[in-house]
Structure 1
Amino acid sequence: MSAATTHRLAPALRLERAVIRGFARLPESLVERLGRRAPVNADGERLAPEIAVALSVLNRIPGGDFSDHPVEKARHMLLDEAAVFADVHPPFAVEEDLVIPGPAGPIPATRYRAATDSKGLVVYFHGGGWVLGDRRSTDSAVRFLAREAGVDVLSVDYRLAPENPFPAAIEDAMAAWDFAVDRAPGWGLDRSRIVVAGDSAGGNISAVLAQQLRGRDVTPVLQVLLFPVTDLSTKHPSYREFSDGFFLTEKHMDWYRERYLADPSDALDPRASPLLAEDLGGVAPAFVAVAGFDPLRDEGIAYARRLEQAGVPTELAREGSLIHAFINVTGVSRPAREATIRIARAIEAAVA
C-alpha cells in the first residue's frame, strides 16, 4: 500500500460514504425523478440529477465550508471529502512511493501502474487551490486514469501555500518533469510519450509547465487541463452565475488566491495566470475539460480558445451537466464517470 492510500475515515463519515454509494446504485429512473428540479444554467444545460441531490445535502451541512476553518483543518476536511466519494479500484501492479529532488527539498510522489504493461506516462498535479490536497486526495482519480488509459501516473506532492506561496508549486512542477524524463527509460517508458496533466490548481500548474517547456529536447506529447484555473487577475462571467451552491464557490477561490499569492500583483504573472501569456504558440497539444456548473468554466474555455488561435491542436470538452472536480466522483455519478473516461481516451490516444 502506498502513502497515497493511508487516510482513515471517522465512523460517521464511513456511514456517509455507504449512503452515497447506496444512492449511486439506485435505478436511473428513480435518480432522474429525484433530480427533476435540478438547476439549468444560462446555456440550457441541466445539472446531473445525482449531483443535484448530493449538493442539496452537502450545502446543508453545518460547518461544512472549509474556508471558514484554519488551513490545517481545511486540509483534513478535503481528505475526508475525497475518501467519502472515492471510487473502488482493484489492486495495481505498481504503487511505488518516490522522492523527487526539489529546489527546496524532497518532493514526495507516487507512481501508479494498473497492469504489467504501460503505454506511456502522465505527470499529474492535484487540485486544491495550491493550498489543499495531496496524493491521498487525488488517489482515486489518478488510479482511474491509469487504469482506463493504460499508462503510468506519477502523482506529485508539490509544495503548498501559504507556507510556500507562488511560485513554489511551479518550481516543484519543473523538478517533477525533469525527474520523470530522467526516470522514464528505467520504467520501460518512452520519453516521447509523457503527458502533463492536472485538475483545477493542478491544471493551472500543467498549463504553466507546458509553456515553460517549449524548446526543450523533451516536451509533453499532450497537456491535459481539467477545469483549470487560468486567470487569477479577474473574475470571468461564470463566477457570477455559479458564485455559490455548486461545490466550488467564489468565496473558496478568493480564499485560495489570498493564500497562494504573497503579493496580489503576482496575479498578472503568466506563471500564475497562464491566460495572460503573450504568446502560446508552440506549446504542447491540449485537452481542456470544463464543467457546466463551475465558476472556472469561462476561463477554461478562454484558454482553449487562445490555444486554438495560436495554432495549438486543442480539444475542448464541455461537460455541461457536471460541477468542478467531477473526476473525483466517478464512483457515484455516471456522467462524471463517462466524462473521465473521455479524458482517459484522450491520454491513451496521445501516447499510442
Structure 2
Amino acid sequence: MSVVTEDHVVPGPHGAVPVRFHRPSEPTDAALVWAHGGAWVGGDLEMPESDWVARQLACRGVTVLTVDYRLAPLPDWMANGLASNLAPRPAQNHPYPVASQELTAVFRWATRAEPGLRWTLGGASAGGNLAAGAALRLRDEGDQADPGEADPGDEGAVQPVSLLLVYPVAHAELPPLTPELEDRARQHPELDEFRPEAVTAMNLNYVRDAERLADAYAFPGGHDLSALPPTFVLTSDLDLLRASGQAFGAELAAAGVDVLVVRENGARHGHLNVPDDPAAARSIERIANWLLSPLHRPR
C-alpha cells in the first residue's frame, strides 16, 4: 500500500503548529494523532519515532497525523545524554503547558478536518505523556459542556475514541520498581539513565516549576483517570520507565477504564526510533492490530 504525505500548519494557542498527514492509498476509518518522544526537548517530524512509525501504520490503512510541537529548553546536562540520539534542532524555550496545549488543539483540528474518521490520540515517551495529558484536558472540557447542547462543532465535545501510550512518562516521580524490574536493572547497568533521580530532573526541566509537577495535565499518573477512552499501554522490557507505564495501566484499570498493557520483550526505551530493531517491527504490528480492531468502533 502506498502512502501520501501532506504538510500543514494548524492554528494553535502559541502560534502555528506544523503537522504532517500520512494518508494510505487504501484507507480505513482508523486515524491517529501521534506525538513523538524526546524528553520534551528534542525530536521532530523526520525522526523515525514520528515519520517511520506513521508510514508503517499508514501502510496498514491507518491515517496518521504527526505533530511538531514546541519544545522545552535543552539544559547542558541533557545535551550529551538523553537527547544525544535526536536530530539537531534549534534551541527552544517552551516549557509546560505549551506542548500539551498544542497537542490538544491539533487533535481538535484533526477531528474537524476529517470528521468521518475514528481518531485515536497517542504518543511515545514524552509524547505519550502529552497524549495522556491532552486526553484529560479533552475529557474535562467535555464534562463542562451541556450534553443537551453539545454538537460536533463544539470544542468541548471532542473526545478520542481511544488512547495509545508507548513507553510513556506518566508520573512526576518514577513509581517504585518491582522486584523483577530491579533485577533487570542489576543485570543491565546501562538502564541507569532512567533512575528515579534522573526522571525527576528531566520532568522538572519540562515544567520548570516544582509546583507544576503536581498538575494532572502535566503528569496524569496518580490523578483521576475515570472516563478516559479505551487505552493501550505498550512498554519496553529493558526500560526503567516501564515502572511508570505499568503503574499507569493499573491506575487506569482501577478507574474503570478499558486498558491493555503489553510489555515488548527484549525492547529498550525508544525502540520505535530504531526501525532495524526487531522489537520495533513487533510493536508496529501490535499497534496496527489494536487501532484496526473492530472493538474500537462506537458501541
Answer yes or no: same fold by TM over 0.5.
Answer: yes
**1:217 maps to what in 2?**
157
| 1:60-113 CA distance string (max 9 Å, x none) | xxxxxxxxxxxxxxxxxxxxxxxxxxxxxx852x20000010111100000001
Equivalent AA in structure 2 for residue 176 of structure 1: V
| 1:116-135 CA distance string (max 9 Å, x none) | 43322201111001111011
CA distance in 2, matches of 1:319, 1:343: 12
**1:131 maps to what in 2?**
41
1:204 and 2:129 correspond = yes
- Say if 1:195 and 1:98 are closer, same or farther in 2 by CA, change over 3 A: same
Measured after TM superposition, the shift of residue 276 of structure 1 is 2.3
CA distance in 2, matches of 1:184, 1:244: 46
Instruction: Give unmatched runs, 5+ long, in structure 1.
Output: 1-89
How many residues matched?
A: 254
Report if aligned partners of 1:200, 1:229 keep a CA contact under 8 Å in 2: yes
1:267 and 2:179 correspond = no
| 1:200-241 CA distance string (max 9 Å, x none) | 001011111112222343311110000000112345327865
Report if aligned partners of 1:269, 1:276 keep a CA contact under 8 Å in 2: no
How do 1:184-263 residues align onto structure 2 when only pairs under 5 Å count? 184-185=114-115, 189-190=116-117, 193-214=118-139, 215=142, 216-234=156-174, 236-237=176-177, 242=185, 244-246=189-191, 249-250=194-195, 253=199, 256-263=202-209
1:346 and 2:295 correspond = no
1:142 and 2:67 correspond = no
How do 1:1-352 residues align onto structure 2 when only pairs under 5 Å count? 91-92=2-3, 94-137=4-47, 138-148=50-60, 150-162=61-73, 163-185=93-115, 189-190=116-117, 193-214=118-139, 215=142, 216-234=156-174, 236-237=176-177, 242=185, 244-246=189-191, 249-250=194-195, 253=199, 256-277=202-223, 279-330=224-275, 332-349=276-293, 351=296
Give SS of 1:98's match: strand
Report if aligned partners of 1:130, 1:260 keep a CA contact under 8 Å in 2: yes
- Structure with the bigger percentage of helix: 1
- Say if 1:120 and 1:202 are closer, same or farther in 2 by CA, change over 3 A: same
Report if aligned partners of 1:233, 1:273 keep a CA contact under 8 Å in 2: no
Instruction: Give unmatched runs, 5+ long, in structure 2.
Output: 74-92, 143-155
| 1:253-296 CA distance string (max 9 Å, x none) | 4563243121122111111211121x211111100011111121
- Percent of counterpart pairs with the same letter? 33
Equivalent AA in structure 2 for residue 165 of structure 1: P
Give SS of 1:275's match: coil
Measured after TM superposition, the shift of residue 310 of structure 1 is 1.1
**1:69 maps to what in 2?**
none
Report if aligned partners of 1:194, 1:351 keep a CA contact under 8 Å in 2: no
CA distance in 2, matches of 1:99, 1:280: 31
Report if aligned partners of 2:161, 2:229 keep a CA contact under 8 Å in 1: yes
CA distance in 2, matches of 1:101, 1:335: 36
RMSD over aligned Cα, in angstroms?
2.2
Report if aligned partners of 2:226, 2:256 keep a CA contact under 8 Å in 1: yes
Equivalent AA in structure 2 for residue 271 of structure 1: Y
Give SS of 1:129's match: coil
TM-score (norm 1): 0.67
Runs of 4+ in 1 over 6 A off after TM superposition: none
CA distance in 2, matches of 1:220, 1:175: 13
| 1:132-162 CA distance string (max 9 Å, x none) | 10111121112112223x1110100111002
CA distance in 2, matches of 1:347, 1:247: 33
**1:49 maps to what in 2?**
none
CA distance in 2, matches of 1:291, 1:337: 13
Report if aligned partners of 2:173, 2:199 keep a CA contact under 8 Å in 1: no
CA distance in 2, matches of 1:248, 1:323: 12
Task: Mark the structure with the bigger radius of gyration.
Answer: 1
